[in-house]
């Protein structure tokens, strides 16, 4: 075999991305310019939670959330600022947006029209995967059926109007973050893609002869964990199964349309607060999983920063992750070779095992009626799988270096000082709210209201939602107004929590011991120890809350957990109705100071000032001190991975608050 049979000139590398955006459109624009100047080749926009859930910055649920986990985009003016000086026709823009994806794409297209850019040259992706929002990430807005209609409208509109745009980026990333096994990640993502394609096919907006083109515009966004051999085989399985679905289910024969096109954000779930410098190695190994195999290599890659388990990364931290990609692509010879694993009996066998497991799960979902009808089953399965993962880490069966083994460490210079993470100026929210009010007061109000009326008429009639949304964007309609108009037509939705059945102790000695303590304290209290667990604000990352709720039930507590997206007043009302002995809050968005302060005030109004409050989330040490000064009894962060120990602390907290020691 000659060298040229297996080695060639270097392939073009994947798109280098960094998931970024915070504070304001102006600050995010400056960050994007800086990242592009350092060699980033595509934008990956992080939106704040109000934008992701179609609320304006001045909505009650937006308090404390504005600009925290991404950039607020409330109207066309914000979109202008966000892309100032950036050439839309030359950009490849990925937008992590789901329920309001039609609206954010409408703003983007409206900006392109305003600039005189050709819509047909716009390249990029809207995530737009609502099923995984119900299962894992929580930024859903509307019920499943109208949500699927909005996605189908976008898919049907984009392939002719913005043909280089990927209107749907099926996102298995958050499935793995929620505990999915590789087989579950494969099956649930592919089932979601099938549900959308079936909806498009049934909608009649796409002629049969154009369906292969639509199939070819579906892309995926996956996760890569640290078990990189299994993850590499998972990507080869994804590639094979997607082609199989295209040929057998949809009759697609075009080789180009059948390609599995995917981008990656490597695993954030496995990043640790303990010895965070180790995260650099984890990120590298995870990047190898999605780049080593040529036929299953990602089309775009974004890497988290080493310190994301502790807070918002700084610009330098993002640069460090970008440099890893550049070294891998340009300094190594990775891109010069044919697939390294073709013919490997180990890789072939593992890939086949994963495909068989995914096919079996896909068949089960089809029997249930498809992905939409299977949401409760999938949610419960993910919570159960995550329970198994957490128990394995707690028991030591699954090693996490620096967490449950090799915990001894020298002090890290990387973690020294108070500026190891980016912080958002709390005054920026007030400025954003004022700017929003100024925008509303300066627009043509009649034109905005006319556009909103037309939008609702389109929603009711079944007309494709995209052009009315673009018209609304040009008329100055805001994100919250777009969302509010469609909420009136479609209604709202509260997804399943998935925790109802995960209440057994599984014979765990520590759980049994804590359960005995709960029974003893409950007897002294005169009724079962009652724990109200709430997620205030817009943070939809519910994995931690679900695990706490499940373990609290396993320990014998009466648990009230109704899911995500409640106001502090809602949580106080739940505590009053349940006659709670303790209230717990889970907040991962960085809005803990505002939301805890408001919750304490609401508990006082409800006459519950004596009910102890505990808080968990990604909370820097200085904020932990501030929370305790407010009166919070206990604060937990990702380093507190032993959930049964937290449950024992809850019992202690209740004893201290309501009883003499029993």
Contact in structure between 64 and 16 (CB atoms under 8 Å): no
541 is catalytic: yes
pLDDT, position 523: 96
Largest CA distance in the chain: 82
Cα dist. 547→211, 516, 617 in Å?
Answer: 42, 20, 13
Could you say which DSSP state residue 401 is in?
B
Q: What are the DSSP E strand ranges found in 557-612?
A: 558-560, 582-587
**Domains of the chain: which residue ranges?**
15-395, 511-659
pLDDT, position 93: 92
pLDDT, position 368: 96
Q: What is the CATH number of domain 15-395?
A: 3.20.20.240
Q: Which of 281, 284, 276 is nearest to 308 (CA)?
A: 276
Contact in structure between 647 and 555 (CB atoms under 8 Å): yes
Choosing from 22, 350, 535, 592, which is the catalytic residue?
Answer: 535
Choosing from 19, 159, 188, 262, which is the catalytic residue?
Answer: 19
539 is catalytic: yes
Contact in structure between 54 and 480 (CB atoms under 8 Å): yes
Give the integer Cα–Cα distance in Å for 283 and 265.
Answer: 10
* CA atoms 271, 273, 279, 285: torsion sign: negative
Q: Can you read off the two tokens belonging to residue 475?
A: 């008329």
Is the pTM here over 0.85, yes or no?
Answer: yes
Contact in structure between 615 and 583 (CB atoms under 8 Å): no
Give the length of the chain.
662
Determine which helix (DSSP H) or strand (DSSP E) holds 126, and give its type and residue range. strand 123-126
Choosing from 22, 75, 174, 350, which is the catalytic residue?
Answer: 174
How far is the first Cα of the chain from the last one, in angstroms, to the nearest whole number? Answer: 78
Mean pLDDT, consecutive 10-residue stretches, the chain (662 aa), reads: 74 81 86 85 88 96 90 97 93 93 98 97 95 93 96 97 96 92 97 97 95 95 93 97 97 96 88 92 95 93 87 85 94 96 96 98 97 94 90 91 90 73 77 95 98 98 97 98 98 82 65 95 96 94 91 95 94 97 93 94 96 94 94 94 94 92 48
Q: Hey, how many other C-beta atoms are within 10 angstroms of the C-beta on 216?
A: 18
173 is catalytic: yes
pLDDT, position 506: 62
pLDDT, position 494: 85
Distance of CA 116 to the CA centre of its chain: 33
Judged by DSSP in three states, 96 sits in: strand
Q: Which of 547, 536, 654 is nearest to 593 (CA)?
A: 536
pLDDT, position 14: 83
Q: Which CATH superfamily is domain 511-659 in?
A: Cobalamin-binding domain (3.40.50.280)
Q: What are phi and psi of 405, to 5 degrees?
A: -145, 155
Give the integer Cα–Cα distance in Å for 66 and 436.
Answer: 12
Give the integer Cα–Cα distance in Å for 517 and 662.
Answer: 9
32 is catalytic: no
* CA atoms 604, 607, 609, 613: torsion sign: negative
pLDDT, position 662: 46
Q: Can you read off the two tokens belonging to residue 260?
A: 């599995």
Choosing from 539, 594, 598, 623, which is the catalytic residue?
Answer: 539
Rounded to 10 degrees, what is the CA torsion of 638, 639, 645, 648? -60
pLDDT, position 414: 82
Choosing from 59, 75, 541, 581, which is the catalytic residue?
Answer: 541
Choosing from 32, 134, 173, 561, which is the catalytic residue?
Answer: 173
Q: What are phi and psi of 531, to 5 degrees?
A: -120, 115
pLDDT, position 31: 86
Contact in structure between 34 and 315 (CB atoms under 8 Å): yes
State how beta strands 613-617 and 582-587 pair.
Answer: parallel
Q: Can you read off the two tokens belonging to residue 307?
A: 């310190």
């Amino acid at each position: 075999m000659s060298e040229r049979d297996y080695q060639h000139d270097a392939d073009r590398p994947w798109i280098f991305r960094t998931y970024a955006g915070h504070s304001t459109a102006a600050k995010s624009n400056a960050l994007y310019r800086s990242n592009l100047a350092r060699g980033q080749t595509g934008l990956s926009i992080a939106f704040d939670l109000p934008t992701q859930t179609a609320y304006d910055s001045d909505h009650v649920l937006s308090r404390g959330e504005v600009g925290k986990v991404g950039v607020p985009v409330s109207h066309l003016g914000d979109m202008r600022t966000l892309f100032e000086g950036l050439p839309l026709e030359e950009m490849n823009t990925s937008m992590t947006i789901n329920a309001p994806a039609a609206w954010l794409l409408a703003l983007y297209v409206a900006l392109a029209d305003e600039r005189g850019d050709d819509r047909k040259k716009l390249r990029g992706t809207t995530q737009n995967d609502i099923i995984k929002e119900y299962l894992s990430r929580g930024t859903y807005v509307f019920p499943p059926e109208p949500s699927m209609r909005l996605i189908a409208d976008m898919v049907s509109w984009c392939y002719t109007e913005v043909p280089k745009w990927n209107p749907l980026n099926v996102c298995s990333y958050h499935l793995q973050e929620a505990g999915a096994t590789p087989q579950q990640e494969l099956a649930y993502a592919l089932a979601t893609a099938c549900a959308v394609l079936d909806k498009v096919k049934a909608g009649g907006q796409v002629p049969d002869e154009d369906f292969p083109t639509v199939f070819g515009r579906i892309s995926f966004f996956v996760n890569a964990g640290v078990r990189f051999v299994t993850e590499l085989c998972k990507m080869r399985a994804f590639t094979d199964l997607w082609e199989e679905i295209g040929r057998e289910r949809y009759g697609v024969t075009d080789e180009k349309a059948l390609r599995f096109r995917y981008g990656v954000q490597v695993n954030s779930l496995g990043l640790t607060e303990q010895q965070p410098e180790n995260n650099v190695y984890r990120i590298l190994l995870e990047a190898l999983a999605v780049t080593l195999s040529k036929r299953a290599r990602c089309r775009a890659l974004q890497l988290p920063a080493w310190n994301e388990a502790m807070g918002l990364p700084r610009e330098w931290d993002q640069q460090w992750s970008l440099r890893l990609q550049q070294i891998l692509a340009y300094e190594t010879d990775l891109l010069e070779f044919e697939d390294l694993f073709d013919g490997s009996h180990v890789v072939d066998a593992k890939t086949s095992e994963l495909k068989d497991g995914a096919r079996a799960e896909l068949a089960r979902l089809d029997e249930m009626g498809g992905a939409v009808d299977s949401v409760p089953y999938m949610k419960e399965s993910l919570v159960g799988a995550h329970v198994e993962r957490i128990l394995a880490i707690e028991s030591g069966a699954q090693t996490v270096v620096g967490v449950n083994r090799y915990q001894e460490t020298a002090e890290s210079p990387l973690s020294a000082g108070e500026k190891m993470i980016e912080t958002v100026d709390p005054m920026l929210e007030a400025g954003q709210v004022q700017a929003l009010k100024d925008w509303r007061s300066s627009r043509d109000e009649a034109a905005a209201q006319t556009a909103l009326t037309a939008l609702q008429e389109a929603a009711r009639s079944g007309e494709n939602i995209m052009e009315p949304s673009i018209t609304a964007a040009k008329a100055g309609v805001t994100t919250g107004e777009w969302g509010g108009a469609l909420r009136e037509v479609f209604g709202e939705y509260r997804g399943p929590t998935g925790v109802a059945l995960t209440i057994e102790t599984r014979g765990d000695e520590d759980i049994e011991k804590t359960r005995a303590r709960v029974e003893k304290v409950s007897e002294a209290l005169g009724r079962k120890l009652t724990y109200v667990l709430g997620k205030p604000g817009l943070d939809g990352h519910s994995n931690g809350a679900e695990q706490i709720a499940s373990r609290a039930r396993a320990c014998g507590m009466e648990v009230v957990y109704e899911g995500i997206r409640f106001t502090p007043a809602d949580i106080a009302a739940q505590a009053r109705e349940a006659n709670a002995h303790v209230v717990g809050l889970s907040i991962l968005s960085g809005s803990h100071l505002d939301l805890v302060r408001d919750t304490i005030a609401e508990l006082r109004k409800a006459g519950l000032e004596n009910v102890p409050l505990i808080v968990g989330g990604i909370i820097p040490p200085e904020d932990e001190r501030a929370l305790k000064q407010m009166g919070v009894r206990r604060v937990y962060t990702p380093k507190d991975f032993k959930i049964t120990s937290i449950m024992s602390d809850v019992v202690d907290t209740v004893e201290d608050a309501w009883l003499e020691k029993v």
